[in-house]
Amino acid sequence: MKILVTAGPTREFLDPFRFLSNPSSGKMGFALAAAAVRHGHRVSLVSGPVALPDLAGVRMTRVVSAREMLRAVEEEFPRTAAVIMSAAVSDFYFLHFSKRKMQKKAESITLQLRKNPDILEILGRKKDGKILVGFSAETENIVENARSKLDRKNLDLILASDISSRRSGFAADSIRLAAIDRAGRVERWPLLSKTAAAERIVSRVEKIYSAQSV
Quick check: is 22 catalytic?
yes
Contact 130, 80 (CB under 8 A): yes
Q: Please, which residues bridge with residue 181 across strands?
A: 157
Residues 6+ apart with CB under 8 A from 81: 1, 2, 3, 130, 131, 209
Which of 22, 116, 141, 145 does the annotation list as catalytic? 22
- Closest residue by Cα to residue 205 from 47, 147, 197: 197
Task: Specify the pairing of strand 174-175 against strand 192-193.
Answer: antiparallel
- Angle, helices 194-213 vs 27-38, to 10°: value is 50
What one-character-per-residue DSSP string does 46-99 give?
A: EE-S-S-PPPTTEEEEE--SHHHHHHHHHHHGGG-SEEEE--B--SEEESS--S
Instruction: Tell me which residues are annotated as active site.
Output: 22
